[in-house]
Amino acid sequence: MARPGLGFARFGMVLASFWPLFLLWAIRGSPVIEDWILFFCCGSLIVIPNALVLIRIYNARSQNDTKLITVENAQDHRDHILIYLIAILIPVYSLPLDAWRNIAALIVALILVITIFWLLDLHYLNLFFTIFDYRIYTINPDNRSSQTGRRDSFVIITKKTSLIDGEEIRMHRISDSIFIDLS
């Protein structure tokens, strides 16, 4: 199965989805890492990936990288944010940062979770979208259609509270499997 394109944007989106975790770690601190180092590392892991996402969205808008999407079989995935918070953020946050061995285990766990997010195309799970009142929908095209050049499902991020089958929306492409409604 071919993986979606714009890999750098996807990687930025995966890292950006973990900004609440990095913020909590910076606030909590660690007895083995000086505060300024932890603030710098966590701050960089918050700012840089989210800046990459914003740059990709800006580029999509300025280059008019759009696609007319016809809604079909849309599923609202607000529940994915809750699952993400409970299943990922809280357990990873609760790991102690009090010894170098624990920090190494935490980094390995984080790499594994990031890899899973990458492989399962969960790079759209960013709380910033929720904070700014965007909703996340998965579009599951039937076997006859191929709107995005693929028959796989894809994600649209929009402020619309509901989508109607057959509705057409001009979307900006963030990656080959994620589109955002900037209207």
Band (49; pLDDT cuts 50, 70, 90): very high
In a domain, 1, yes or no: no
Rounded to whole angstroms, the Cα distance separating 155 from 178 reads 5
When divided into structural domains, the chain yields a total of 1
pLDDT at 177: 83
* Residue 54 near residue 46, CB atoms below 8 Å: no
Token reading at 10: 């996807």
Regarding predicted confidence, which is higher, 1 or 133? 133
In a domain, 112, yes or no: yes
In a domain, 163, yes or no: yes
pLDDT at 35: 95
Burial class (CB in 10 A: 0-12, 13-18, 19+), 86: exposed
Q: The domain containing residue 138 runs over which residues? A: 7-180
Over residues 117-139, the pLDDT tens digits come to: 888 777 777 888 888 888 888 88
Over residues 149-162, the pLDDT tens digits come to: 555 788 899 999 88
In a domain, 170, yes or no: yes
Q: How many residues does the chain have?
A: 183
In sign, the C-alpha dihedral spanning 177, 11, 42, 55 is negative
Q: pTM score, two decimals? A: 0.80
Question: Which residues, 6+ apart, have CB-to-CB distance to 133 below 8 Å?
Answer: 159
In a domain, 2, yes or no: no
In a domain, 148, yes or no: yes
